[in-house]
Every structure is written in structure tokens, then in C-alpha cells.
Amino acid sequence: MGSDSLKISVHFGGGAEILFDNLKQHDLELPLDNGTWNLKRLIAWIRDNKMKSKQELFVKDDSVRPGILVLVNDTDWDLLGQTEYELCDGDQVHFISTLHGG
Amino acid sequence: MCSTGGDDGETLLNPKPPLPEKGTLCRKCKTSKAQVILQIKDAYCKECLIALCNHKFRAILGKSRIFGNEQKSVLVAFSGSASSLALLKLLSDAVAAGPSHRRIMACPKIIYIDEGALLGMSAEERLTKCKEILEVTAGFGFPVYAVPLNVQDSSPVDITNYEIHGNTDDKLKSLFESVSDTTSKLDLLNRLRCNVLSSCAQQLKTSLVMLADNSTSVAVKILSGVSLGKGASISLETGFSDSRHSDVTFLRPLRDFTSKEATIFSIFSGCPKSVFVPSLLTMSKMDSSIQRLTETFIVNLQNEFPSTVSTVYRTGEKFCSTPSNQPCAFCLGPLDTVHKPCSALEATDFSRELSTGKKPESSCGSCDCKNKLRSTLVQTLCYSCRLIVCSVDNPELLPSTVLENAREAQSFSKMKSQIEEFLISEGE
């Protein structure tokens, strides 16, 4: 064992995907050389590496913009410590926008 | 208002309490691990959340007594969003339930309004969207119709046979291009959508239309409605049922569900992934319109103070509409433009006169315009519809039903003034 990267799957829904080239699923391999990855670090990484513009439509301060739901493996991140949750190999992270719907 | 000693202010502004610990159990079954937390401290597992939503939905419909013992046709307005999917799934499960599980006797039909012409989408893109909509709705087993957003009445067609007609789109595009600001465009869009849904319901012989408005969007509508001068019709636009259109009743059975609840339900209950349909609000700047600003305000505040949406929503429920003799020619709501002494309208007109230095035309109090059609039209409109029409450069582009309603209202009031002295008023 002992892989040197963290493999996770990030999904965007509810319209958030248009900020990411309309791609709903992004399979990522995050390097483990600089310590563990929590959701705060992941969000910052997504902002810096996957977004060319309109970062304010996804990120606010250290977290996601209000109105975006975050689920990890089908569980509300509010039950997992929000940005402090530490990612594990194989995690499925969903970012779903609930804005201007209906 | 401000109360001395009452703790109302404190309870409203209480910030979020600390998050629950990991591994919290579902508050209902107390056996499974909780997977979602609603409001502040209601943690539920997947199964209990689904059961809760189904129960809430059927209770709301059951209490309204709209569906009795015979099958009633209902048109479900589908936009592709998670709330629309949640509505479809809840309705579909309620229809298929056994009699002991509060079955709802409804016969749903699904309708999708194609608004692609407004955003300059190509015919191919619009047809692709229709295909995506069909893909997610086909599994429910109900007929699916599509209709283009239009200024004149269009007929809903089976979504598989939907075609784009360029010439009818031109009128719509010209109408929206002649509107000066995004706020009025969005308001106009909402009006047109309602009119299209009402017309389609009549053509499909249904008297009920279900909308997927959740409590968050209702709270946004309440606050932005106040900003847009819609006081007279807020209760109709955000209430459970809206019967302004004569033969068609609009229902909002999801208005007790927060946007989080509806979205999580659609995911947990195995609905297909939502279809993203671009709209005028997509990628718009925060200050591009009153509606957008209000949504940002409420959603941001809700994040810090989780009782925001429910407070606005509960306050909005206390609004009511005073019926008037003639309905507004555009939104069919009550007319609130009778100049009574000390009315808000009189104060607004007085302010405008003072600040612009121009006396309002006696026939059109809202703007200094010379267009004859516009000045006769605004007399038949409520305050907020007047604001929309005054921001449209060429009122001839408005829907023909609106212009017809206005003509009828005009001739009715002319006739009434001619025979007024012979009428016995209620006081006599």
C-alpha cells in the first residue's frame, strides 16, 4: 500500500457545473506530500486550479458560497465537521448549488 | 414592532449553535447514523428523511382538500431543478401509494417551458435541453409536454415532437430587448411564465398547476415583492394556492420545504440528476437586479442565522389581499392604484413630483410618457405591473391577452361611468 496521492471524486450539480467547464464529475489525485487534505484545503485547491474566473460564485472566504450544499459520501458536511473534515481515499464529494431553482 | 422586554429580537438573531458531533444518530429512528441535518439540530438518516418529506407533502395536500376521491388532472411545471424533481418524485409516490398511506388522487402531466429564445440559445441547444428534460422525466411515467415562452398563446406539444419556430421567438426577443433593466425583465418573465402555464393548463383540460417553489424561494419572493411594489399580490404569489386565473389554480405544495430539504430529498430518493437550464439570473452580478440582491441577502443571512427563511416566510403568511372590482389586466391580481387620501400610492406620486419637478400626467401617474397606448393601459394595471409596463419601450409588444384585458377593462369602466347615476350603490 502506501500510495503517495489521495484519489477522490468531486461532483458538481444544481448549476455549479457551469463554473467548471460543464463537467459534472472530476476525478482528482491530490498529492499527499504536504500533509493531510481537509475540505478547506480542497475548496482552496479547486478555486486555484479548476476555476479561471468567477471564483466568488463558488468560494466565500475559506468555505463555499452560501447556497451550495456539500455532501461527502451521501452525508451532509454539517455532520462531518464542515471544512475540518479530513478526506479519505475514495471519497465522493458533491457540491450542489441550490440557488435560483424551482 | 419593537417590544420592550420581549425576547423576540433575541430569538430571531441567535447565531448558529455549534454543529453536532460526528456519528450523531438519526433523531427519529435513533438507530441509523444521521446523514443530513436540517434547520439547526434535526438530524435524520436517509430513510427517515424520505419518510418525513413524503408525510409532509401528503399532509399539506390532504389538509387543503383539493384532491378528493376522484382523479384530478394536475399540470406540474418542471424546470429541471432539484426542487422540480423533488416535487415530481413526491407527487409520483403519493399517487402510487396505497389508500392507507394517504394516496393522492391525481393524474399528473409534466410541462417544460422552453425559454431558450430569451438567452439567445441556438435551436440545437434548446432541443438538446428538451432531450435532457425528457431523459430525467421519462422514468416517472407521466406525459411530458413542452411549450415555448411566447408573447401570444402557444400550444403545448409532446416534448418528443417539440419544434422551434424562429418567427414567434422574434416578438419575444423584441419585447425583452425593449425593457430597460434586469429587474423589470425578471418580473416580466415571471408574469409571462404564469400566463403561459395558465393557458397550457386550459388547453390540456387541467384546472390545477403545481409549482416547485420552496420556502427559500418563497422568502426571496416575499422580500423582493415588497421592493417591487407588489404588496397587493404577495400573498397570492407566495401562498399555497393562487386562483387569480379564472379556471386554473396554482399550487405550491413545496413551500414548507427548505431548498436544502428539497435538494437532499431529490438526491436521497434516487431521482435522476437535475438538469441545469440557463436563465436570466445565471452568472449575473450580485447587484444586477433586485431579485438577485434579495436572494444573496437571504441566503447569506440564512447561513449565519438559520431562522431567517422561516421568519420571513412566517411574516409573509400574514399578508392578505384586498379584492378589487376589476383585476389587473396583466397579473390578474387586485388593483391597488386607487388614489385614496394618505395612501402609499399618493405619497409615492407626490415624492416623484417633488423630485422630478414634473406633474404626473393625469392619466398615467407612473411616468412622464406620451404614448397613448401606454397611458390608457396603465390605468388597468396594478402598481407593480405599471412599473414593468413603464420600463417597456414599446407596449404594443406586450402579450395580446394583456392588451385585450386592458381594452375590456377600459370599456367596462367607461360604461360604468355612463350609467353610474342610475346604479344603486351598496350604501343606499
The yes-or-no verdict on residue B15 having pLDDT over 70 is no
Identify the residue with better confidence: B1 or B15: B15
> B395 vs chain A: nearest CA distance in angstroms?
28
pLDDT at B253: 95
Task: Identify the residue among B21, B36, B83, B209 best suited for mutation to test binding to A, counting A beta carbons within 10 A and taking the highest.
Answer: B36
CB nearest to A100's CB, from B34, B254, B281: B281
B215–A contact, CB cutoff 8 A: no
A57 → chain B, closest CA residue: B283
Task: Identify the residue among A74, A76, A93 best suited for mutation to test binding to B, counting B beta carbons within 10 A and taking the highest.
Answer: A76
The yes-or-no verdict on residue B10 having pLDDT over 70 is no
> B248 vs chain A: nearest CA distance in angstroms?
20
Q: What is the pTM of this model?
A: 0.89
Taking each helix axis from N to C terminus, what angle separates B383-390 and B182-203, rounded to the nearest 10 degrees? 110
> B76 vs chain A: nearest CA distance in angstroms?
11
pLDDT tens, position by position, B372-385: 777 788 888 888 88
Percent of chain B with pLDDT over 70: 91
pLDDT at B362: 43
List the one residue out of B140, B56, B46 whose CA is nearest residue B93. B140
Which of the residue ranges B4-8, B146-150, B191-195 would you say has the lowest mean pLDDT?
B4-8
B262 → chain A, closest CA residue: A98
Cell numbers given for A5: 496521492
User: Are B97 and B103 contacting, i.e. CB atoms less than 8 angstroms apart?
Assistant: yes
CB nearest to B214's CB, from A24, A78, A102: A102
Average pLDDT over residues A26-50: 90
Element (H, E) at B113: strand B106-114
Which of chain B's residues have a Cβ under 8 Å away from the Cβ of A24? 273
Residue B44: phi and psi, rounded to 5, are -130, 150
- Output b/e per residue, B243-263; b: 16+ Cβ within 10 A: ebbeebbbbbbbbbbbbbbbb
The yes-or-no verdict on residue A78 having pLDDT over 50 is yes
pLDDT at A1: 45
Q: What is the DSSP string of B263-282?
A: HHHHHHTTPPPPPP---TTT
Which of chain A's residues have a Cβ under 8 Å away from the Cβ of B302? 66
pLDDT tens, position by position, B161-177: 988 887 778 888 888 98
Percent of chain A with pLDDT over 90: 48
pLDDT at B364: 45
Which of chain B's residues have a Cβ under 8 Å away from the Cβ of A73? none
Q: What is the DSSP string of B58-106?
A: HHHHHHHT-S-SS-EEEEEE--SSHHHHHHHHHHHHHHHS-GGGT---E
Which of chain A's residues have a Cβ under 8 Å away from the Cβ of B81? 14, 101-102
pLDDT at B163: 87
> A17 vs chain B: nearest CA distance in angstroms?
9
Is A101 in Cβ contact with B84 (below 8 Å)? yes
pLDDT at B259: 92
pLDDT at B370: 46
pLDDT at A27: 93
B37–A contact, CB cutoff 8 A: yes
Is A81 in Cβ contact with B19 (below 8 Å)? yes
3-state SS assignment for residue A38: strand
The conformation of residue B19, written as its DSSP 8-state character, comes to P
CB nearest to A99's CB, from B79, B213, B299: B299
The yes-or-no verdict on residue B2 having pLDDT over 60 is no
Which of chain A's residues have a Cβ under 8 Å away from the Cβ of B274? 13-14
pLDDT at B17: 67
pLDDT at A102: 32
Is A98 in Cβ contact with B263 (below 8 Å)? yes
Chain A residues within 8 angstroms (CB to CB) of chain B:
13-15, 17-18, 24, 54, 57, 66-67, 69, 71, 74-76, 78-82, 94, 96, 98-102
ipTM associated with this complex: 0.92
pLDDT at B367: 53
Q: Work out the mean pLDDT of chain B and round it to a whole number.
A: 85
pLDDT tens, position by position, B216-254: 999 999 999 999 988 888 989 999 999 888 889 999 999
| Band of residue A77 on the pLDDT scale cut at 50, 70, 90 | very high
pLDDT at B376: 81
Is A14 in Cβ contact with B263 (below 8 Å)? yes
pLDDT at B130: 93
Terminal Cα-to-Cα distance of chain B (whole angstroms):
40
Which of chain A's residues have a Cβ under 8 Å away from the Cβ of B84? 101-102
> A89 vs chain B: nearest CA distance in angstroms?
19
pLDDT at B69: 85
pLDDT tens, position by position, B75-103: 999 999 999 999 999 999 999 988 888 88
B26 → chain A, closest CA residue: A79
Residue type, B388: I
Which of the residue ranges B321-330, B365-374, B419-428 would you say has the lowest mean pLDDT?
B365-374
Cell numbers given for A14: 444544481
List the one residue out of A34, A12, A33 whose CA is nearest residue A22. A12
Cell numbers given for A64: 463555499
Average pLDDT over residues B118-139: 91
> B283 vs chain A: nearest CA distance in angstroms?
8
pLDDT tens, position by position, B242-287: 988 888 999 999 999 999 999 999 999 999 988 988 888 787 777 8
Percent of chain B with pLDDT over 90: 40
The yes-or-no verdict on residue B117 having pLDDT over 80 is yes
Is A15 in Cβ contact with B37 (below 8 Å)? no
Is B36 in Cβ contact with A79 (below 8 Å)? yes
Is A74 in Cβ contact with B35 (below 8 Å)? yes
Cell numbers given for B171: 416578438
B267–A contact, CB cutoff 8 A: yes
Q: Which parts of B239-380 fold into alpha helices (H)?
A: 259-268, 290-304, 308-316, 344-356, 372-377
